[in-house]
């Protein structure tokens, strides 16, 4: 790997549909069952096709803060890394540590499988209620820890205002 690439260049932001990204892996903000759900989880399950559900039914779920990997099936991405973020309970129940662990577990799996480019949604910020700005800061801080070992860590945002926040955090944290 070219070590002259800055962490800021590895950490990238896009807006749009994560299921359309042609990267080595996309991350699914999964629930503990791994059987699909609403939001990005449901969208990834629909886009990957029925083989994903057939496989995740055999996997026994995933505890909060951990990650599991499956093929991408019908997605452009080769792999799906499923991670379970914490449900927001006010911030005093270890949510920040669990969210960091969810990102770090995903990135560790990526390294173990030779993945060079990975795209994340905003884990735990939808139905799980994690405050967006706090979650984004944890996402970028964790990405910075792993940036030297990957070619691209992409934060895929649904809205442009969210992407703007990620870009500002990358500037603030990586410079």
Question: Which residues are designated catalytic?
Answer: 41
CB 45 within 8 A of CB 36: yes
**Which of the 8 DSSP states describes residue 19?**
G
Beta strands in the chain (DSSP E): 11-15, 25-29, 67-71, 79-83, 117-120, 152-157
User: Using CA atoms, how far apart are residues 10 and 8, in angstroms rounded to an integer?
Assistant: 6
CB 73 within 8 A of CB 112: no
Who contacts 152 (Cβ-Cβ below 8 Å, separation ≥6)?
10, 12, 23, 116, 117, 118
């Amino acid at each position: 790997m070219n070590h002259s690439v800055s962490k800021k260049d590895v950490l990238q932001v896009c807006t749009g549909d994560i299921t359309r990204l042609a990267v080595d892996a996309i991350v699914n903000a999964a629930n503990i069952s791994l059987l699909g759900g609403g939001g990005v989880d449901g969208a990834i399950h629909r886009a990957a096709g029925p083989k994903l559900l057939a496989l995740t039914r055999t996997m026994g779920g995933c505890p909060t803060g951990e990650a599991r990997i499956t093929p991408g099936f019908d997605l452009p991405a080769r792999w799906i890394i499923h991670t379970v973020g914490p449900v927001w309970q006010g911030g005093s129940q270890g949510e920040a540590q669990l969210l960091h662990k969810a990102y770090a577990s995903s990135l560790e799996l990526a390294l173990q499988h030779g993945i060079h480019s990975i795209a994340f949604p905003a884990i735990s910020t939808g139905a799980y209620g994690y405050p967006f700005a706090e979650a984004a800061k944890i996402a970028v801080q964790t990405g910075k820890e792993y940036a030297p070992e990957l070619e691209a860590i992409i934060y895929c945002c649904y809205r442009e205002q969210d992407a703007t926040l990620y870009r500002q955090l990358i500037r603030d944290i990586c410079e």
